[in-house]
Amino acid sequence: MILLTNNYKNALVAEIQIKEANLTISEQFKQQMIELIEQGNSYIIVNFVKVIYVDSSFLGALVAALKYAIPHKAEVVVCGLNKDILGLFQLIRLDKAFKIFGNVDDAAVNGIN
């Protein structure tokens, strides 16, 4: 299992359980995210707190999940990025596609409407 999920306030938190988010797990991650969206979760927080490395294939899977979420009226946000991963998000401008939060609490507060 790549994602450990739990409901928190108004959101579903999907915590990545793998330290290295790479090609090996990217397809399984994408499928799990699609399932969460299909289950009707409208605000999903992807928590990277345990992740120390990501590659382009995993980021592609994350973007694919976001693209799937939009027509399903779901929002996918991220939190818990370490300094290097945050820098990568900024370098490839994923910070323009995703709302990024420091932690789950900040992300959950943002989702309260």
- pLDDT tens figures, 50-109: 999 999 999 999 999 999 999 999 999 999 999 999 999 999 999 999 999 999 999 999
Sign of the torsion formed by the C-alpha atoms of 66, 104, 87 and 83: negative
d(CA 81, CA 93) in angstroms, rounded, equals 14
pTM exceeds 0.75, yes or no: yes
- Distance between CA 92 and CA 86 in Å, rounded? 10
**Domains of the chain as residue ranges with CATH:** 3-110 (3.30.750.24)
**Alpha carbon distance 28, 62 (integer Å):** 11
- Indicate whether 1 pLDDT > 70: yes
